Chains A and B, each alone.
Chain A
Amino acid sequence: MNIFRLAGDMTHLISVLVLLLKIYATKSCSGISLKTQELYAIVFVTRYLDLFTDFISLYNTVMKLVFIGSSLAIVWCMRYHRVVRRSYDRELDTFRYWILLGVSFILALVLHEKFTLQEVFWAFSIYLEAVAILPQLVLLQRSGNVDNLAGQYVFFLGAYRAFYILNWIYRYLTEQRFTRWISCVSGLVQTALYADFFYYYFISWKNNAKLQLPA
């Protein structure tokens, strides 16, 4: 565990927990894409199948359970909570996410380390995570502005990806270990998707103005 990895995990954790707590406290999920949240729930469930087969560390196990639990709780809130579900921007959240699921699954069937159930699902979760933010970015784009919650959420997720890349570089230099290319290429794609958003986030922060994305 190095400082970049820890910072990455913490910003990831903050992004998910802040989202869940704010949805619950304000009873509103306006500006948040249910499709992205469902994709993340699928990502965590399919990636952490090794909870049943391998023990890495207590930290690892607890974090996995927190990620699975909190992502399912967010989906539950947005879908079924009597009050919260009314604020869901259903008509703006129309990204055809089955395309992302299909492409990721086919890619995982073709590109994986070993042809076992666990390895194929692991690769699938890596590919899916890389593109899972797209429905959220499209929703932000369509609504034309971002409230604090959605903006902070995407900001922390982007920070998490940036720290993970630093973590890989650090591990390469200090542990003489290279990150598996499946994670590496997917991670770079994922981080690139945030770059555009970060640009506008930075501009709005600099001007102390509400975040406005171009139509």
Chain B
Amino acid sequence: PKPAPSKDEL
């Protein structure tokens, strides 16, 4: 799996 774009979370 790819890393989740953590910056889209608060």
- What is the interface of chain A, defined by CB distance below 8 A to chain B? 5, 9, 12, 50, 54, 56-57, 60, 63-64, 67, 122, 164, 167-168, 171-172, 175-180, 182-183
Majority SS of interface residues in chain A? helix
Cβ contacts under 8 Å, B6 to chain A: 179-180, 182-183
B4 shortest CB reach to chain A, Å: 4
B1 and A178 within 8 A (CB): yes
Give residues in B with beta carbon < 8 Å to A. 1-10
A56:B10 contact, CB within 8 angstroms: no
- CB-defined contacts of B10 to chain A, threshold 8 Å: 9, 12, 60, 63-64, 67
Would you call A176 and B2 a contact (CB within 8 A)?
Answer: yes
Q: Tell me if B7 and A54 are in contact (CB < 8 A).
A: yes
CA distance A97 to B5 in the complex (A): 30
A172 CB contacts on chain B under 8 angstroms? 1
B3-A180 in contact (CB<8A): yes
Residue of A nearest to B3 (CB): A180
Closest to B7 in A: A50
Evaluate contact between B1 and A176: CB separation under 8 angstroms.
Answer: yes
